[in-house]
Amino acid sequence: MTLEADIACLGRLPLFKSLPPPRLKLVALMGEKLSFEAGTQIASEGEKPGGVYVVLQGEVEISHERPDGQGPRLQLNSGSLIGDVPLLSGQSYVGAITAKSAVSALLLPKDLFFELLETIPDFSLALTRDLASRLYRLADFTLHAEKVH
């Protein structure tokens, strides 16, 4: 993707819609553009995040392998954030992150991510809503043993 395509992709994501165009361009420029082939491990369980991944294209999976080789898996699609929860909570990844398809991602360094939170109230509010939505889906799944939607 070109810089213009990255900016357009970010601008379509709910989390970044409120950013003014110059700030959106700055995020695209300051973020590290990464590509992962299907099957590539992006982050390891127990690893501390150094930033937040924005999945621009593709599908990733978060998994926790048990000794029997089985374990829960969570699929994430384009537009998903990876690493924001452990970064904000000062924790490490709870599972391994693997590209399930070819993935294009933007890695926002920790300092840039926190700068966005501190200086752009609309970004902070959008992230809060996104986190609340994910927490609600998790609670719904846990209480009703239904598929997370």
pLDDT digits (tens, 9 = 90+) for 17-69: 878 888 888 888 888 999 999 999 999 999 999 999 999 999 999 998 877 76
CA atoms within 13 A on the CB side of 81: 24
Domains along the chain?
32-110 (2.60.120.10)
Would you place residue 146 in the very low, low, confident or very high pLDDT band (cuts 50, 70, 90)?
Answer: low
Tokens describing residue 42 = 């992006």
Q: Which residues pair with 73 in a beta bridge?
A: 63
Residue found under tokens 């700030």: 23
3-state secondary structure at position 103: strand
Alpha-carbon distance 55 to 81, whole Å?
6
What is the pTM assigned to this prediction?
0.85
